[in-house]
Structure 1
Amino acid sequence: MDLETTDQDVLPETGCEKGSEILMPVSHVIDGAQQLSWDQVVQSSVRLLNCDRELVQIRATIKLGRIAKSVPEDILEQIVPHVVALLNHPSHSQPLSIQETASFCLGRLARRGEKLSSKIGDSGTLPILLRLLQESEGRTQRVVVKALRELVICTQSNQVILARSGGVEAIIHLMASSSDDIKNCAAEILSAMTSLKEVRRAIVGMHGIPVLIQSARLGRIASRARAAQAIGLLGVTRRTRRMLVNAGAIPALIELLREGDLAAKLVSGNALGIISAHVDYLRPVAQAGAIPLFAELLEGNDPQGKEIAEDVFSILAVAEENAIAIAEHLIRILQGSNPEAKAAAADVIWDLSSYKHTISVVRTSGAVPLLLRLLEDESDDVKEKVSGAVAQLSYDQGDRVALAEAGAIPILLSLLHDESEELKDNVAEALINFSEDPLLRDSISEAFNNPAFQDIQGRLVRIRQSDEHTVQSLRFMSLEQFTA
């Protein structure tokens, strides 16, 4: 029997009011000016909820749950304690119990918002519902778990109460032993509670990480995203990161990155970036299909998504085979028509050029001619990002030769007169690197008398002298730096 659709007239009559008369039609009192009518709703509800006939109480809780969305919150607040009291009443009724219908009613009331949900939680409801959840089965258990979900999903004070009442252990056990519909609700309850640090610690301590991973794959997308966020927060430490990976975190996060809405993609993408930040997981993340999905984020319209994709690509590219796959997507993006995506792709190439092995990867990928073409044709933002990548590439002798052969020097010389200071700085940095190469120095002789070149040359010399070792270490990042 579904409480959402149950026809109360199929319940036995009791000698008290009939089902249609238990609460006056709300349509008669929707006008807030008729305060007396709302007072009558409160009086009628309290009288029926405290009636000594269980079937009347059952009818009243069902009716109240159904009309809750149309009743002012201050009216509902007055009724809450009387509904909560019914949770402790022993039930002798069939086919519905008073605890079941009271749970249904409280779940519907909690939907009205955080204020009323907090009121219900502060009335001692959560420990009682948790006990009923563990003692019941079948339909009653489904009703109770749905009520708990509504009470904790958006109300942090209720999350705290439930967690400190033994809720974490109970929900973990429930997910391991229940049917799919109950498991889905339990997953949403657990993911909501993971906003609390104490809950995340408890999940690890109770060996509940596999259940947390399961929560990232069950229920509504928003709930799965909350579980993914908890995975990311827990994955910061090396030991827990290993536990998460062993429990299946990578495919769960990849699944959410593929299926989720934008908010879920951002959360799961960020969590994957955290998981990836160790040499052992660079390849498994890529092999699970992460690179094309992050390329989609890079091409999307959300600035945060682009930033996450750039960061994760910079991590994954530490493994050479990943860098090759990433470069293929970057080339495709650079050949496209989306200026923002091109700027983001150039930014990634800029980052990738800092790694020893990816210097050759960028050169052999065919990126150099594309970058130079973009320097001539694209918007200021794209040109600034591309010039940064070219400047970084110019530190490597092989890339300097490739740039020169592709016609970089006259293009760079022409850009010394651009209005963008960042662009001129990047161009001058590249030209200075060319000037320090005996084979190419003569090719840029006309730049030596350019005031912009001279100014930047002086600044770069001072920076290099004061921070020589740092610049060198940043220029050549390697795999070993991701083993910590």
Structure 2
Amino acid sequence: MEVADLSNNPVNIPILQKANVISQLHPLLSDVVPSIQQTAVFALGKLADHSKELATIVVKEYILPPLFESILFKNIFFKKAVTLVVSAVAKHSPELSQAVVDCGALETLVLCLEDFDPGVQEAAAWALGIIAQHNAMLSQAVVNAGAVPILVTSLQEPEVAIKRNAASALSEISKHTPELAQMVMNNGAIAHLAQVIFSPDAKLKRQALSALSQISKHSVDLAEMVITANIFPAVMVCFRDPDVYVKKNIIILMRDVVKHSADLSQVIVNCGGLAEVMDYLGKSHGSMRLPGIMMLGYVAAHSEILAMSVILSKGVHQLAICLSEENEDHIKAATVLSIGQIGHHTPEHANAVASAGLLPKVLQLYMEASSSEDLRVKSEETLKNILQKCTYLPSLEPLLYDAPSNILKHVLGQFSVMLPHDIQARQKFVRSGGLRKVQEINAESGSVLQEQINAVNICFPKEIVQYYTPGYSEKLLELLENNQPSYVDHFTLETQEQLCWQHQMEVMEARETHPRVESPWQTPQMPQAVEPCSPPPHTHPREPWRQGTESTLPPILPPLRGPPPVPTHATMSNHPGKVQGAPCPIPQKKGQHLRPGIYQRTPASGQVHSQQRPDPKPRGNDLLTSYTALHQKEIKLRLQTAHHTDMQTTAP
């Protein structure tokens, strides 16, 4: 009795082990006093539960077979103590569980499962679940012992503890292989588990939801059987349960259903599953978030429509929060994978991920040396899948500065596709410094990265690309240093200017000597003694009134344009029916002058009109007109001086 009390305190276990208390308890198992037997078995269970080493000693001392042989003739307290020893030994390892099975524990537990006492049934169901949890072979041994039908029947017992342990045992059996899950389903477990969900007991709902998820995770057929049971309306109501593990198991159930097909995912989406997952992710942390993160990735992976449903449900925003708040690599890896499943479908999906600012974060995880290998692999895969679809250039540009070459070639590939068709994007790319950064990238000749750089450079003029090429400013400075400015002779410029004025005066003299053509009906009559001069080579083709002059000096300044002459009847002598020699007045409005041109009189009205439109402003203040008037005065003065000199010369 004292050993049993001491074994309740974990501090005393090492002392009892050194005292070799198990060998001392072994003879007490066959004592004639039932209470002593029960206490000895209970003490063995406490010791075996404490450590794997003590559990191994219990197996090696050949203690278990006599217990199983005499259990049918013992009371309920002895049966409970024996099932406790089985659970304590089997929980440590598959090897110890197999040793317990070899001792005949399964047949004993099945008999206890059919006992009338609820406590014995509860303990037996718990022990069966402990044995089945290790591997498929032990679970198959439990099935072969005939425990599954009895466990399904136990779900209908009124005691909550029995139903809880039975649901747990069914969950442990179903999780290993599709065949074991099919065996559980064939015994009608799904319908009974669906009824258990309505129980107010949170622990019972946990185990029932866990069993349903373990059944549905193996194949599409099993998942469809779970859906056919019409459990999800009741499952969605369970989200209002305050127990966080109930909510977690609901998320796990939905995750294991949606991963099989798009149709099953659509069923969960139609039931409002996405909204519940978003709310769950916002209120949970750590490993509790993992099922929800994976569920979003499974839903988005099936089709573009389902991925867009995740985006519209603000799933990308929640994944961004999870990626920034979580520290464990396996949670980050699952988040990155789900992000990639959302963004790999179309440019619209990829742009939704990129606009959330997730690409730089994923790139950082890929480049961090502290990241696990699994996280790095998933980050690289996600980046490549999204970059091949992304057309949101503002989110791609930051990657130019940090991405390695194997990622950078995908970034430049998207720029080479988008820039040729968007002039505003090209302008922004230059102003933001993206083109400069592209020129600074060092790529091997002939590599894929160099080809992408060339494809981007083709989108811009060569001068701009050359301007942003590293070292171009130094080349310009070298040209400036080697440049020698030419000497300017101001005296030569003044001499040329004087010659230009002299040339202009000669032109005016020749104009008075040889009258120009003013109308299409007049042919100028050249004097016989004076032959017409060919126009100088510098005469402007649009100034016919300057033709007929001759000069040997090239113009330094542009020729001056004088005011047009007033047409007379004499200038239109070739037109029949007109009086020659009289001035032909041109009708003008007050404050309005006609531009130079060819004037003609319409036969009907007898008015003279210009082929050019009238100038709304007077040209009297024109600078060129002022220059012409000045030249005319100077020419007249020279002519008068020359005439006076001739008169003095010819005088007797």
Deviates more, 1:147-156 or 1:113-122: 147-156
Distance 1:187 1:193, change over 3 A: same
Contact kept in structure 2, 1:104 and 1:147, CA below 8 Å: yes
Contact kept in structure 1, 2:363 and 2:403, CA below 8 Å: no
The aligned amino acid for 1:327 is S
Which of the numbers 271, 277, 300 marks the counterpart of 1:273? 300
Contact kept in structure 2, 1:188 and 1:219, CA below 8 Å: no
Contact kept in structure 2, 1:45 and 1:79, CA below 8 Å: no
Distance 1:136 1:413, change over 3 A: same
Q: CA deviation at 1:166?
A: 1.0
Distance 1:310 1:337, change over 3 A: closer
Matched, 1:295 2:281: no
The aligned amino acid for 1:80 is L
The aligned amino acid for 1:390 is F
Q: CA deviation at 1:266?
A: 5.1
Which of the numbers 387, 400, 412 marks the counterpart of 1:387? 412
Q: CA deviation at 1:443?
A: 4.6
Distance 1:256 1:41, change over 3 A: farther
Deviates more, 1:154-163 or 1:253-262: 253-262
How far apart, in 1, do the equivalents of 2:411 and 2:301 lie?
Answer: 27
Distance 1:112 1:349, change over 3 A: closer
Which of the numbers 374, 390, 397 marks the counterpart of 1:352? 390
Alignment of 1:104-253 (within 5 A): 104-154=126-176, 157-197=179-219, 198-210=221-233, 219=245, 223=249, 226-237=252-263, 240-253=264-277
Deviations 1:251-272 (A, max 9, x none): 2333565545385365223124
Deviates more, 1:183-192 or 1:385-394: 385-394
The aligned amino acid for 1:88 is E
The aligned amino acid for 1:201 is E
How far apart, in 2, do the equivalents of 1:97 and 1:410 lie?
Answer: 78
Deviations 1:76-98 (A, max 9, x none): 10221121122234x1x5xx443
How far apart, in 1, do the equivalents of 2:142 and 2:362 lie?
Answer: 56
How far apart, in 2, do the equivalents of 1:193 and 1:133 lie?
Answer: 16
The aligned amino acid for 1:254 is M
Distance 1:256 1:419, change over 3 A: farther
The aligned amino acid for 1:81 is E
**Partner in structure 2 of residue 310 of structure 1:** 340
More helix by share: 1
The aligned amino acid for 1:57 is K
Q: CA deviation at 1:137?
A: 3.0
**Partner in structure 2 of residue 80 of structure 1:** 106
Q: CA deviation at 1:187?
A: 0.5
* SS of corresponding position for 1:352: coil
Distance 1:178 1:393, change over 3 A: same
The aligned amino acid for 1:277 is E
Distance 1:418 1:123, change over 3 A: same
How far apart, in 2, do the equivalents of 1:183 and 1:73 lie?
Answer: 27
Q: CA deviation at 1:401?
A: 3.6
Contact kept in structure 2, 1:110 and 1:120, CA below 8 Å: yes
Distance 1:149 1:377, change over 3 A: closer
Name which structure has the greater RCO, CA cutoff 8 Å, separation 6+.
1
Contact kept in structure 2, 1:168 and 1:199, CA below 8 Å: no
Distance 1:119 1:192, change over 3 A: same
Deviates more, 1:98-107 or 1:379-388: 379-388
Pairs aligned (count): 407
The aligned amino acid for 1:388 is G
Which structure's CA Rg is the greater one? 2
Give the TM-score taking structure 2 as reference length. Answer: 0.52
Q: CA deviation at 1:202?
A: 0.7
The aligned amino acid for 1:426 is Q
Contact kept in structure 1, 2:339 and 2:353, CA below 8 Å: no
The aligned amino acid for 2:39 is S
Distance 1:81 1:381, change over 3 A: same
CA RMSD of aligned residues (A): 4.4
How far apart, in 1, do the equivalents of 2:314 and 2:340 lie?
Answer: 16
Distance 1:187 1:215, change over 3 A: farther
**Partner in structure 2 of residue 479 of structure 1:** none
The aligned amino acid for 1:20 is T
**Unpaired segments of 5 or more residues in structure 1?**
6-12, 354-361, 448-484
Q: CA deviation at 1:115?
A: 3.5
How far apart, in 1, do the equivalents of 2:363 and 2:170 lie?
Answer: 52
* SS of corresponding position for 2:123: helix
Deviates more, 1:415-424 or 1:113-122: 415-424
Distance 1:215 1:49, change over 3 A: farther
The aligned amino acid for 1:199 is L
**Partner in structure 1 of residue 357 of structure 2:** 329
Deviates more, 1:139-148 or 1:125-134: 139-148
Q: CA deviation at 1:242?
A: 3.6
* SS of corresponding position for 1:318: helix
Contact kept in structure 1, 2:293 and 2:335, CA below 8 Å: yes
Deviates more, 1:64-73 or 1:264-273: 64-73
Q: CA deviation at 1:132?
A: 1.4
How far apart, in 2, do the equivalents of 1:22 and 1:331 lie?
Answer: 61
How far apart, in 1, do the equivalents of 2:222 and 2:334 lie?
Answer: 28
The aligned amino acid for 2:355 is A
Matched, 1:21 2:21: no
* SS of corresponding position for 2:155: helix
Q: CA deviation at 1:68?
A: 3.5
How far apart, in 1, do the equivalents of 2:278 and 2:127 lie?
Answer: 38
Distance 1:215 1:306, change over 3 A: same
How far apart, in 1, do the equivalents of 2:195 and 2:304 lie?
Answer: 32
| Percent identity of paired positions between Structure 1 and Structure 2 | 13
